[in-house]
Amino acid sequence: MRMSREAVQQVALLARLALTPTEETELVAHFDKVLTYMEKLNELPTDGVEPTAHAVEVPAPLRADQVTNHTDTEALLQNAPAQEADFFTVPKIID
């Protein structure tokens, strides 16, 4: 599969990139190499191979969902110019 200069220009437009003609030429060659490699990979027999996200099983590094910072409401509101109950009061900006 060949990559055209027009396709590179379209991708650059979508990505909001300003490419010089030299950069466009380089990208056409680079994308051609990638697409050629992908075609080569498509020739491999993959029947019976289950899709995977990782080559090996890696457990997700999750921690327990616990509150670790306890807020001191009085200290937070101490410098507030205006407050109501436990909340900051701000001027209304939308009618």
pLDDT by position in tens, the chain (length 95): 688 999 999 999 999 999 999 999 999 999 999 999 999 989 999 888 888 877 888 888 888 888 888 888 888 898 889 999 889 999 889 87
What is the extent of the structural domain holding 31?
A: 5-42
pLDDT reported for residue 76: 87
Indicate whether 86 belongs to any domain: no
Residue 35 belongs to a domain with what CATH number?
Answer: 1.10.20
Indicate whether 18 belongs to any domain: yes
Q: How many domains does the chain have?
A: 1
pLDDT reported for residue 1: 67
b/e burial code for range 4-27 (CB count within 10 A of at least 16 → b): eeeebeeeeeeeeeebeeeeeeeb
pLDDT reported for residue 89: 92
Indicate whether 22 belongs to any domain: yes
Indicate whether 67 belongs to any domain: no
Indicate whether 95 belongs to any domain: no
pTM of this prediction exceeds 0.85: no
